[in-house]
Structure 1
Amino acid sequence: MNASTATLPVVVIGAGPIGLAAAARLLERDIQPLVLEAGPSAATAVRAWSHVRLFSPWSEVVDPAAEKLLAPTGWVRPDAATYPSGGDWAGLYLQPLADVLGEKVRYNARVTGVSRTGRDRIVDADRDQQPFVIHFTGPDSAEERIYARAVIDASGTWSTPSPAGGSGLAALGEKAAADRTSYRIPDLKDPAVRARYAGKRTAVIGTGASAFTALAYLADLAKADDGTGTHATWILRRGISGSTFGGGEADQLPARGALGLAAKAAVDNRYADAVTGFRTDAIDRDSDGRLVLVGEDGRRLDAVDELIVLTGLRPDLTFLDELRLALDERLQAPVALAPLIDPNQHSCGTVYPHGQTELAHPEKDLYLVGMKSYGRAPTFLAMTGYEQVRSIAAHLAGDHQAAERVELTLPETGVCGGAGLFDQPAAAEETGGCCTAPATLTIGGPASGSGGC
């Protein structure tokens, strides 16, 4: 890095929980951050699931450096033992933190591309010595650019939900069914949303915490509207086993364990029917315009009025296309991190705390953090993200000893199952034998993350 580059800010993409924590950690190291947030306020993604309660308490969703930054304003952390909703998290912590950062956060700034100044993806010469150039659109959609000494991408995965199709692609007819399809947990306290699902038959695709939440919400609606025909059909790509509903009473996060039990109760009490081993291939319409799911095996399910798809989230890598990333071919997570979080291999225990070493890419001083660092894996925790950015900030400050030091111990739950770990609302579906750990439905999350927290 040359002298002129060293004076540039570190650009952080995304003003969510991990992006704002990154800014706080950088300031702690006397490094100037600039946070670019696509939305009109802090925690735009978290606000989208404001009605969902995290399963992690306040004690686990506030970054220590951020708390120090807030302290001079008179800010006091809410009761550490209570569980915030997404709205609480955004309004009581994340927005106040962004307000303290002030002009270091720019809203309505959507990043469209990141590269090295004067170097496309192919050019090697003096590449690491060139500053990053970030292109983004401002509030009036005008194109702007800014230069940075390093880039921390904390943009999350909330904007790119996975489709209904069992192959990872949209099912045939899925786009045409958009008017009756949602990829989010419905807020049934909203009268308009409640009217959409009351008295209707709804199919829910997914087996993570988000699907549990949706099933529990729809069951409550069916109880309240008894006799009106409110009913859910739960679509599972695999069968039901002892671990399908998570850890239950054995889960060290009681709120998360209760969520799985609520989903089980919805099925046991016949508010929802479970259809197993069904991989959606197409979505047709019947003569009344209702949706008919067609499986890869040719099965056609009874028509439903609405469809809720909660099959996980995936990273948007398009604006990083001119940079050199080293990503696992399956998870789209950094290659050194992927083995630690791979749901095909990861079982009991927690994900090992990690930092800049595991998150580094061939493109020097570029980091994907938070949910985005986990690619398609459903095991992210807010606490893990806070440790990531602590390590990265130390590394950028030249304190390599602190960067390599692990300053986080994750409690183990000893609960294994397909629900996975997630700090965000839409937990990934069918995670295999992943072990649930303390989660916060954060970055993207439900007590239900972003996903149960």
Structure 2
Amino acid sequence: QGLPTGGEIVRDYLAPLGRLPAIAANLKLGAEVTAITRQGHDKVANEGRKDAPFVIRYRDGGGEHRFLARAVIDASGTWWRPNPIGIDGLPVAGEGKASARIAYGIPDVVGKAREDYAGKRILVIGGGHSAINVALALMELQDGAPGTEIFWALRHANIERLLGGGLNDQLPERGALGLAARQAMADGRLNMLAGFAVDRIETQGEKLAVDAHLAGKPFSMAVDRIVVTTGFRPDLSFLDEIRIALDPVVEAPPALAPLIDPNFHSCGTVPAHGIAELAQPEPGFTIVGSKSYGRAPTFLMATGYEQVRSVVADIAGDHAAAREVRLVLPETGVCSAVGVATVSESAGCCGGP
């Protein structure tokens, strides 16, 4: 019922859970799964496949290892595969060379990374919760380092879609993010660049020269740092020998994809779902959590909890409970497609470079 941070979830839930004897004996920390397959079977082999245990290969500080499992739940998320800057899904020219001055996700701008951002000219690219959090954190930094300039670039040209449901949001803290961002814009503390698409980044001394298009017209600016919050995508590289089926658009399970496609749905319009929508052609293998949503940005943690409950019930043989998925998801918010208003070209930037 609370609103814990990631650190609090680790401290108050995951760490105590990991200390339970039944879990601690089988918990592998500092490990990276490199491959999953069926024992004695490649992807093509059929005979005896469903009765063969899974083989999980992983590496840690001690080298390469493997173990067997009856079932596999892939809850590895998408955090380690952020989307690049390019609006076409590819890195823009010069993005790789400038990587030392580009952060992806939500850097700790008021903590560990403070010196990288204090008093600097910062470009934040993205239009979701991560972008709002970064922008608000940079404003907090700005309070103690007045020379800090914040430019917030949106790929689309609709501010209302970014700000979400506000006081009408059924998740109050999510609505508060949009309200805080709206107030910051009104106060002129955020330099908004709507309808922004980067073409090229070039390192010029201590600066990054950004060539882009703003509202369809050529636009250039120089910044010290860039924070990219353009979403994430699933890592499927270690599943080559597993039979999985994914939607070609959002890379989610085919039965789930039409329910979460951001072209048609918001967080609140996604119906409750579980094993029936998550099942894969490989019996005993399931993808849950944010990774199950593929590239769709509408995932809520409550959804993941219900997914896991359903999948675990199915593995335990309680198929009736597995299919009794009951979850009421909140309407409105940043991930809602309702109430979209287009921003004019003249309003696309309030406070030019």
TM-score, structure 1 as length reference? 0.70
Aligned Cα root-mean-square deviation (Å)? 1.9
Q: 1:104 to 1:136 in 2, by over 3 A?
A: same
Q: Partner letter of residue 244 of structure 2? A: L
Give 1:110 shift.
Answer: 1.3
Q: Is 1:91 aligned to residue 11 of structure 2?
A: yes
1:387 equivalent among 286, 303, 306: 306
1:397 equivalent among 297, 312, 316: 316
Q: Which residue does the alignment assign to 1:222?
A: 142
Q: Distance in 1 between matches of 2:226 and 2:81?
A: 17
Q: Is the 8 A contact 1:163 1:170 kept in 2?
A: yes
Q: Which residue does the alignment assign to 1:110?
A: 32
Give 1:434 shift.
Answer: 7.0
**What secondary structure sits across from 1:118 in the alignment?**
coil
Q: 1:109 to 1:185 in 2, by over 3 A?
A: closer
**What secondary structure sits across from 2:218 in the alignment?**
coil
Spell out, residue by residue over 1:135-183, the C-alpha distance to the aligned partner (whole angstroms, 9 max, x if none): 111332x211111111111111111111111111111111111111111
Q: Distance in 1 between matches of 2:58 and 2:155?
A: 39
Give 1:204 shift.
Answer: 0.2
Q: Distance in 1 between matches of 2:195 and 2:330?
A: 30
**What secondary structure sits across from 1:299 in the alignment?**
strand
Q: Distance in 1 between matches of 2:8 and 2:268?
A: 29
Q: Which residue does the alignment assign to 1:429?
A: none
1:160 equivalent among 81, 92, 108: 81
Q: Is 1:261 aligned to residue 182 of structure 2?
A: no
Q: Give the 5 Å matches for 1:34-433.
A: 59=1, 82-100=2-20, 101-140=23-62, 142-190=63-111, 192-226=112-146, 229-286=147-204, 288-295=205-212, 299-347=218-266, 349-406=268-325, 408-413=326-331, 415=332, 419-420=334-335, 433=337
Q: Is the 8 A contact 2:289 2:301 kept in 1?
A: yes
Moved more, 301-310 or 247-256: 247-256
Q: Is the 8 A contact 1:205 1:308 kept in 2?
A: yes
Spell out, residue by residue over 1:362-387, the C-alpha distance to the aligned partner (whole angstroms, 9 max, x if none): 11110001111111111112221121
Q: Partner letter of residue 260 of structure 2? A: I
Moved more, 112-121 or 122-131: 122-131
Q: Partner letter of residue 206 of structure 1? A: G
Consecutive aligned runs of 4 or more in structure 1 exceeding 3 Å deviation: 347-350
Q: Is the 8 A contact 2:121 2:224 kept in 1?
A: yes
Spell out, residue by residue over 1:25-45, the C-alpha distance to the aligned partner (whole angstroms, 9 max, x if none): xxxxxxxxxxxxxxxxxxxxx
Q: Distance in 2 between matches of 1:389 and 1:160?
A: 22
**What secondary structure sits across from 1:373 in the alignment?**
helix
Q: Partner letter of residue 118 of structure 2? A: A
Percent identity, aligned pairs only? Answer: 46
Give 1:105 shift.
Answer: 1.2
Spell out, residue by residue over 1:81-100, the C-alpha distance to the aligned partner (whole angstroms, 9 max, x if none): x4222211111111111111
Q: Which residue does the alignment assign to 2:351?
A: none
**What secondary structure sits across from 2:55 in the alignment?**
strand
In the alignment, structure 2 segments of 5+ residues that lack a partner are 340-353
Q: Distance in 2 between matches of 1:248 and 1:240?
A: 15
Spell out, residue by residue over 1:322-378, the C-alpha distance to the aligned partner (whole angstroms, 9 max, x if none): 111110111111000011111011147342111111111111110001111111111
Q: Is the 8 A contact 1:157 1:315 kept in 2?
A: yes
Q: Is the 8 A contact 2:161 2:338 kept in 1?
A: no
Q: Distance in 1 between matches of 2:223 and 2:144?
A: 20
Q: Distance in 1 between matches of 2:200 and 2:338?
A: 29
Q: Distance in 1 between matches of 2:103 and 2:159?
A: 27
Give 1:285 shift.
Answer: 2.7
Q: Partner letter of residue 303 of structure 2? A: T
**What secondary structure sits across from 2:196 in the alignment?**
coil
Give 1:122 shift.
Answer: 1.6
Q: 1:392 to 1:434 in 2, by over 3 A?
A: farther
Q: Distance in 2 between matches of 1:409 and 1:363?
A: 26
Q: Is the 8 A contact 2:110 2:137 kept in 1?
A: no
Q: 1:364 to 1:215 in 2, by over 3 A?
A: same
Q: Distance in 2 between matches of 1:363 and 1:348?
A: 28
Q: Give the 5 Å matches for 1:17-36.
A: none
In the alignment, structure 1 segments of 5+ residues that lack a partner are 1-58, 60-81, 422-432, 436-453
Q: Is the 8 A contact 1:420 1:434 kept in 2?
A: no
Q: Is the 8 A contact 2:266 2:298 kept in 1?
A: no
Q: Partner letter of residue 219 of structure 1? A: M
* Aligned length in residues: 335
**What secondary structure sits across from 1:300 in the alignment?**
strand
Q: Distance in 1 between matches of 2:198 and 2:72?
A: 39
Moved more, 239-248 or 308-317: 239-248
**What secondary structure sits across from 2:36 in the alignment?**
strand
Structure 1 or 2: larger strand share?
2
Q: Is the 8 A contact 1:346 1:434 kept in 2?
A: no
TM-score, structure 2 as length reference? 0.90
Q: Distance in 1 between matches of 2:304 and 2:222?
A: 42
